[in-house]
């Protein structure tokens, strides 16, 4: 009786290992994840500039337009974020190039 139970238990273990290796017991997702990044639609003019030491969003835009800022700061920040998705105007990196809204026209 012990031999028969041992044999059946061995068959069950072999079948479980075979099933686990061929089919698997964890759920398998057959779908692939695709991430698409689209460039934002921009309806206003912009220019690209590299940030230098000590420069801020306002100073770069004012220097490019050779005049003081003609729009509210909140609009400038909103337009900057629309041109540079995922970038914060508070954390500009020196030497990195960004898109800045152009208000001189």
Domain that holds residue 64: 46-101
Domain tally for the chain?
1
In this structure, is residue 54 part of a structural domain?
Answer: yes
Check which CATH number belongs to the domain holding 58 and give it. 3.10.350.10
In this structure, is residue 56 part of a structural domain?
Answer: yes
Beta pairing partners, 99? 48
In this structure, is residue 95 part of a structural domain?
Answer: yes
Chain segment 48-97, per-residue pLDDT in tens: 999 999 999 999 999 888 888 888 999 999 999 999 998 899 999 999 99
In this structure, is residue 72 part of a structural domain?
Answer: yes
In this structure, is residue 52 part of a structural domain?
Answer: yes
Long-range contacts: 79-84, Cβ < 8 Å, 24+?
Answer: 79/44, 82/40, 82/42, 83/40, 83/42, 83/46
Chain segment 11-59, per-residue pLDDT in tens: 999 998 888 888 876 766 665 666 766 665 677 788 999 999 999 999 9
């Amino acid at each position: 009786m012990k031999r028969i139970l041992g044999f059946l238990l061995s068959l069950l273990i072999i079948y479980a290992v075979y099933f686990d290796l061929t089919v698997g017991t964890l759920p398998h997702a057959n779908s692939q994840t695709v991430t698409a990044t689209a460039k934002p639609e921009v309806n206003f003019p912009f220019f690209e500039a590299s940030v230098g030491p000590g420069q801020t969003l306002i100073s770069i835009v004012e220097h490019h337009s050779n005049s003081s800022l003609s729009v509210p700061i909140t609009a400038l920040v909103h337009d900057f974020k629309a041109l540079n998705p995922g970038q914060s105007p508070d954390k500009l990196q020196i030497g990195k190039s960004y898109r800045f809204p152009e208000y001189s026209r």
